[in-house]
């Protein structure tokens, strides 16, 4: 029996009500308790894999004063902070002659392949950089921090997109500015949650299903579709029964800070224990604007079978694109780098990383429910293969 829209809506409302889901914070721990409660209700056993990290960023002061205007912001988490005196000098367009450079970036600038901003940061002569993030609601949509554990470049202050026009004009005038990004680094913990469904049989490699569970804000469209699908698999009786291939459900932490969770999980595995195939449930599965979903797979047969499952579940063909696995993003990259065949689903979202990514406005309930039921049918079918 398919999962109905009311069930998916209830799950999304619960997730959205927990507050911000940043790694090592109260919202992170609340989501872990929520998932663990579902595991118990499903009568399954789970294992927690705690991750300690010594660099949880605790904000003390972050902003930029240009002329008579002050812009509050958030430091980039894989850049160093400033001392309390901050950085003082002229604000200019990035790359021009001045102490503080200014630019505008999409919130996925550190997520997609290439990340040209990383090269700019590493080579810049600016003593600090201000970035206005281009969010769908004009809010502050932080960039992820791929090198969270090895910060580099100058201090970078991120500010809300609604300030872009004014900051751009001030930068072109080369006005004096003062940038502050004062943070404290505190020890913290987060955890991956793993659930093995089915009874392992000799020689059978588990099918991994991986979805991140941490993010900058509530991030309901960003993370909710993957987690709703994870829950639907958890509560599927056919997957709990004995079969030729068990399924390992893995909800990983540290997504926004260098994919800390999946890298920790892969690094802790004994040699020779990697799966043959992993399904990556990435961001924005069921976002309402735009509704595009991208399917990537290492093997053409997997792309075909997933496309058929999505069609059968009612996901519209015009909102689905298929790309080569070499364009994969998110945790799919880490899985691929380990030599695992991957099927990856990732959507688009006008509110990506923005405060406005909230339930119910940022999600299409019919489309996220279609993804949930398509993936569940695909996993049930794939699990039966030897």
- Determine how many CB atoms are found less than 10 A away from the CB of residue 139: 17
- To 5 degrees, how large is the angle CA 24–CA 47–CA 207? 105
Q: What's the pLDDT score for residue 217?
A: 97
- Chain segment 49-74, per-residue pLDDT in tens: 999 887 677 778 999 999 999 999 99
How far is 275 from 141, CA to CA, in rounded Å? 35
Please say if the pLDDT value at position 79 is more than 90: yes
Please say if the pLDDT value at position 202 is more than 70: no
Q: Across residues 288-314, what is the average pLDDT? A: 97
Please say if the pLDDT value at position 318 is more than 70: yes
Paired strand residues for 295: 322, 345
How far is 98 from 176, CA to CA, in rounded Å? 10
Question: Sign of dihedral through CA atoms 82, 88, 89, 90?
Answer: positive
Q: What's the pLDDT score for residue 113?
A: 58
Q: What's the pLDDT score for residue 383?
A: 84
Please say if the pLDDT value at position 251 is more than 80: yes
User: Is 372 within 8 Å of 1 (Cβ atoms)?
Assistant: no
Paired strand residues for 51: 190
Question: CB-based burial of residue 266 (10 Å sphere; 0-12 exposed, 13-18 middle, 19+ buried)?
Answer: middle
Please say if the pLDDT value at position 139 is more than 90: yes
What percent of the chain clears pLDDT 90, i.e. is strictly above it? 85
**Please, what are the domains in the chain?**
5-52+187-383 (3.40.630.10), 59-186 (3.50.30.30)
Query: What SS3 state is found at 186?
Result: strand
pLDDT band at 184 (very low <50, low <70, confident <90, very high): confident
pLDDT band at 112 (very low <50, low <70, confident <90, very high): low
Paired strand residues for 252: 212
Q: Supply the mean pLDDT for the chain.
A: 94
Q: What's the pLDDT score for residue 257?
A: 94
């Amino acid at each position: 029996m398919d999962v109905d829209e009311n069930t998916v809506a209830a799950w999304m409302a619960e997730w959205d009500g927990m507050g911000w889901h940043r790694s090592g914070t109260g919202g992170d721990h609340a989501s872990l308790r929520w998932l663990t409660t579902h595991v118990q209700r499903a009568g399954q056993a789970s294992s927690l894999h705690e991750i300690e990290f010594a660099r949880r960023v605790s904000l003390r002061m972050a902003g930029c004063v240009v002329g008579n205007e002050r812009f509050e912001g958030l430091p980039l988490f894989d850049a160093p902070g400033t001392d309390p005196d901050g950085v003082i000098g002229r604000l200019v367009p990035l790359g021009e002659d001045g102490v503080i450079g200014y630019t505008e970036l999409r919130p996925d600038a550190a997520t997609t392949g290439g990340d040209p901003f990383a090269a700019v940061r590493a080579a810049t002569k600016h003593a600090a950089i201000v970035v206005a993030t281009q969010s769908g609601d004009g809010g502050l949509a932080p960039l992820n921090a791929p090198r969270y554990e090895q910060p580099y470049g100058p201090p970078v202050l991120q500010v809300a997109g609604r300030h872009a026009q004014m900051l751009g004009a001030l930068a072109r005038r080369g006005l004096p500015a003062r940038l502050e990004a004062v943070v404290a680094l505190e020890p913290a913990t987060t955890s991956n949650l793993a659930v093995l469904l089915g009874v392992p049989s000799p020689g059978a490699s588990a099918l991994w299903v991986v979805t991140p569970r941490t993010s900058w804000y509530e991030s309901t469209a960003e993370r909710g579709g993957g987690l709703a699908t994870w829950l639907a698999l958890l509560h599927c009786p056919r997957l709990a029964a004995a079969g030729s291939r068990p399924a390992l459900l893995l909800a990983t932490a540290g997504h926004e800070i260098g994919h800390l969770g999946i890298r920790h999980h892969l690094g802790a595995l004994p040699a020779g224990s990697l799966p043959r195939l992993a399904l990556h449930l990435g961001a924005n599965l069921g976002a309402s604007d735009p509704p595009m979903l991208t399917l990537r797979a290492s093997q053409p047969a997997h792309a075909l079978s997933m496309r058929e499952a999505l069609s059968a579940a009612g996901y519209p063909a015009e909102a689905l694109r298929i790309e080569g696995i070499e364009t994969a993003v998110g945790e799919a990259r880490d899985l691929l780098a380990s030599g695992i065949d991957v099927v990856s689903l990732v959507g688009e979202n006008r509110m990506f990383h923005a405060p406005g990514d909230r339930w119910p406005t940022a999600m299409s309930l019919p489309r996220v429910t279609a993804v949930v039921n398509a993936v569940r049918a695909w996993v049930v079918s794939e699990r039966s293969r030897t």
